[in-house]
Amino acid sequence: GGHGQSVAILAQVGWPSLTHARLAPFPSLAGMKTLVQEESIKVPKGIKISIKSKIVEVTGKHGALKRDFKHLPIELYLANSGHEVRAKMYFAKSKQLSMLRSVCSHINNLFDGVQKKFEYKMRLVYAHFPINATITNGGKTVEIRNFLGEKRVRTINMLEGVKVEKSTGTKDEIIITGTDIDMTSRSAALVRQSCLVKDKDIRKFLDGVYVSSHGTLED
């Protein structure tokens, strides 16, 4: 039709192709670089923190945690005479700016861990064969027996600094606690993945050990 012709004529006149015209003079907003972006978080009372070359060390009443952010192109420093952590980034696109908030979340998790500890509650779910969980090794290991009536003993070692215990009030519940959110949640994942039903429809066979709730331990 006529529309196709007019575009062809434009091309002959030697206009820059339409796509380039849109991208070159005005970079679209997504590609815009922000000059400097900053996020800050308050350091809670009773917590010692040190930042040296992007390694953050946090000490509180439950111990010390350390996390390395060297893989991120940001500046981390203490401000306000040590009562505030600031994360700064220069010339970043909006996708890269999301790192700043993530770093702040990670550091907040460090604060929560050394102040309150993280706790993952897991329920033993079974239809017929009662799953038997035994805590050994002083809370560092959990042994799971009789899952779906299997004879095999499943031994799950907790990751570093994580303890597992049986719930006192609730039947068929185990509680995993630790200061490091990564180690604690990964330990819970190891327990969950040790009891998977194979070769059955898992919508029907719901046996297993599932995380029922997680969060910080309230003092």
Closest CA to 182 of 120, 126, 139: 120
Complete edge-to-edge strand list for the sheet that includes strand 84-92: 34-42, 84-92, 75-79
Is the per-residue pLDDT at 36 higher than 90?
no
Hey, what's the torsion of the CAs at 197, 200, 206, 207, to 10 degrees? -40
Query: Considering Cα of 62, then 189, then 167, then 164, what sign does the dihedral take?
Result: negative
pLDDT above 80 (res 173): yes
Question: Using CA atoms, how far apart are residues 184 and 119, in angstroms rounded to an integer?
Answer: 8
Residues 110, 58 contacting (CB under 8 angstroms): yes
Percent over 90 (pLDDT), the chain? 63
The pLDDT value recorded for residue 95 is: 86
Position 81 scores a pLDDT of 85
Work out the pLDDT band at 29, boundaries 50, 70, 90. Answer: low
Please determine, for residue 16, whether its predicted confidence score (pLDDT) is greater than 80: no
Calculated CA dihedral for residues 99, 105, 110, 114, nearest 10 degrees: 170
Cβ atoms of residues 15 and 21 within 8 Å: yes
Segment 157-180 mean pLDDT = 93
On whether the CB atoms of residues 76 and 86 are closer than 8 A, the answer is yes
Residues 41-99: tens digit of each pLDDT = 999 888 999 999 999 999 999 999 999 999 989 899 898 888 899 999 888 888 888 88
Q: Picking from 86-95, 115-124, 159-168, which range would have the lowest pLDDT averaged per residue?
A: 86-95
Q: What are phi and psi of 190, to 5 degrees?
A: -60, -40
Q: Which residue blocks in 28-173 are alpha helix, DSSP H?
A: 94-115
Residue 31 reports pLDDT greater than 80: no
What is the number of alpha carbons within 13 Å of residue 43 lying toward its C-beta?
21
**pLDDT tier, 24 (very low <50, low <70, confident <90, very high otherwise):** very low
* Residue 53 per-residue DSSP state: T
Statement: residue 28 has pLDDT above 90: no
Q: Say what the pLDDT of residue 208 is.
A: 94
Burial class of residue 14, CB neighbours in 10 A (0-12, 13-18, 19+): exposed
